[in-house]
């Protein structure tokens, strides 16, 4: 078995965690898609076909593909894991004791595969056969008792491997918070990950994986914006420094907007010294280099040094120990750049140095990548992109070959 871990964004991808979209996407309606963070109602069958093609493209490059649903089902074969998952799913204050007790019994009787489906696709008020009382009477029949998790498609956000440890993240939006609880269950209870050490955690300050970029071994950039908070970056920095996983963390402020929700919506690495970047923010993107001033005696007493802000490309190259981090623009003109940034042109997944997966529709960006010597593996994403995410968002690298 390939050892788990990653120290860069571009080392040869060996194992990746994906989630094939399923019934949870069929729960999206015009009434709830905004709450569930989707910009439209995807054609689920087409989204599944596109995702299957994505997975096949990775396998064709000798990447092992793990599916989150399979891992979760295998994890739920353990009674302790089932109890934890059920208790967590029913912890919301909207249920009341009568309904919560009924659902706990019903879910306990479900098979591991059935329980996985309930936890991911959710349970609607009109689908329960018991537990009837004040709560079920007053809720609309279409209200969810257990919310579906359509954003589970974006496995990058709920966990990030930093060398040989996995960071369980803390998702900011209410519609996504339960995702990391399931991810944590897999990493702590599934036999494949026995002995894996974790950092951060869903109960800590908000950090989302789409904001975390492993620029080089020991150098981590973290976007700070709509989803990741300054306190979250500080917590993560303390943990990676204390565990000797990094020497520099770059805190990178980004606009708190839907179009730029994560750092990887404006920039992704495609080689050890090349980054594809949205040109409309390239000149204004800043970074604060965070290093250790005094290691202290424990994580809490570790003192951080925060440098003055510098242009991101300058700060990144300096921290990486290279002369220049080469910028590849998305599009040749402002309109094309804006269109292709919205369509996740910046959100590429490197599967090796100078080899990246990208949505086929972003012609301008892909042409510029190829002109810069990057091999582009094109995939369809007309339906997958309705949740605002590209190939990087849809993949959590579990194992990458170390860079020389």
Residue 58 in tokens: 């990775």
344 vs 363: CA distance, rounded Å? 12
Under 8 Å between Cβ of 167 and 221: no
Quick check: is 396 catalytic? no
Backbone angles phi, psi at 178, to 5 degrees: -75, -15
Catalytic residue among 36, 393, 394, 398: 393
SS3 380: coil
Q: Residue 214: enclosing H or E segment and its boundaries? A: strand 212-216
Under 8 Å between Cβ of 211 and 221: no
Please report, to the nearest 10 degrees, the dihedral formed by the alpha carbons of residues 403, 343, 366, 215 taken in order. Answer: -20
Per the listing, tokens 């810069």 go with 372
Under 8 Å between Cβ of 5 and 399: yes
81 vs 189: CA distance, rounded Å? 7
Handedness of CA 279, 210, 397, 319 (dihedral sign): positive
223 vs 178: CA distance, rounded Å? 22
Q: Residue 224: enclosing H or E segment and its boundaries? A: strand 219-224
Under 8 Å between Cβ of 250 and 222: yes
Residue 318 in tokens: 């300096």
Q: Residue 16: enclosing H or E segment and its boundaries? A: strand 13-18
Rounded to the nearest 10 degrees, the angle between the axes of helix 97-108 and helix 79-89 is: 150
Label residue 301 exposed, middle or buried (CB < 10 Å: 0-12, 13-18, 19+).
exposed
Per the listing, tokens 């998702």 go with 171
Per the listing, tokens 């080392």 go with 11
Residue 30 in tokens: 């015009």
Residues with catalytic roles: 393
């Amino acid at each position: 078995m390939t050892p788990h871990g990653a120290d860069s964004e571009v080392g040869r991808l060996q194992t990746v965690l994906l989630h094939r979209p399923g019934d949870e996407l069929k729960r999206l309606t015009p009434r709830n898609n905004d709450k569930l963070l989707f910009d439209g109602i995807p054609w689920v069958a087409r989204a599944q076909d596109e995702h299957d093609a994505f997975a096949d493209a990775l396998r064709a490059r000798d990447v092992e593909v793990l599916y989150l649903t399979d891992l979760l089902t295998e994890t739920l074969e353990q009674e302790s894991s089932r109890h934890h998952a059920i208790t967590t799913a029913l912890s919301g204050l909207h249920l009341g004791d009568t309904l919560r007790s009924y659902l706990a019994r019903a879910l306990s009787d479900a098979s591991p595969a059935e329980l996985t489906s309930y936890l991911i696709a959710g349970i609607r008020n009109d689908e329960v056969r018991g537990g009837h009382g004040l709560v079920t009477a007053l809720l609309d029949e279409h209200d969810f008792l257990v919310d579906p998790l359509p954003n589970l498609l974006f496995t990058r956000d709920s966990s990030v491997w930093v060398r040989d440890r996995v960071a369980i993240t803390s998702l900011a939006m209410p519609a996504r918070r339960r995702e990391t609880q399931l991810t944590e269950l897999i990493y702590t209870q599934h036999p494949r990950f026995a002995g894996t050490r974790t950092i951060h955690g869903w109960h800590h300050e908000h950090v989302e994986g789409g904001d975390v970029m492993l620029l080089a071994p020991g150098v981590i950039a973290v976007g700070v914006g709509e989803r990741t908070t300054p306190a979250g970056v500080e917590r993560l920095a303390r943990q990676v420094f204390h565990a000797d996983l990094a020497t520099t963390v770059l805190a990178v402020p980004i606009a708190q907007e839907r179009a730029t929700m994560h750092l990887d919506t404006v920039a992704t690495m495609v080689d050890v010294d090349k980054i594809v970047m949205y040109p409309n923010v390239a000149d204004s993107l800043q970074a604060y280099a965070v290093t250790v001033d005094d290691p202290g005696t424990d994580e809490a007493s570790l003192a951080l040094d925060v440098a003055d802000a510098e242009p991101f490309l300058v700060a990144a190259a300096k921290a990486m120990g290279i002369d220049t981090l080469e910028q590849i623009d998305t599009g040749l003109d402002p309109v094309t750049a804006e269109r292709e940034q919205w369509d996740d042109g910046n959100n590429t997944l490197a599967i090796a140095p100078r080899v990246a997966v990208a949505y086929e529709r972003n012609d301008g960006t892909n042409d510029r990548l190829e002109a810069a010597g990057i091999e582009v593996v094109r995939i369809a994403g007309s339906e997958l992109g309705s949740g605002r995410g590209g190939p990087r968002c849809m993949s959590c690298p579990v194992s990458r070959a170390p860079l020389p």
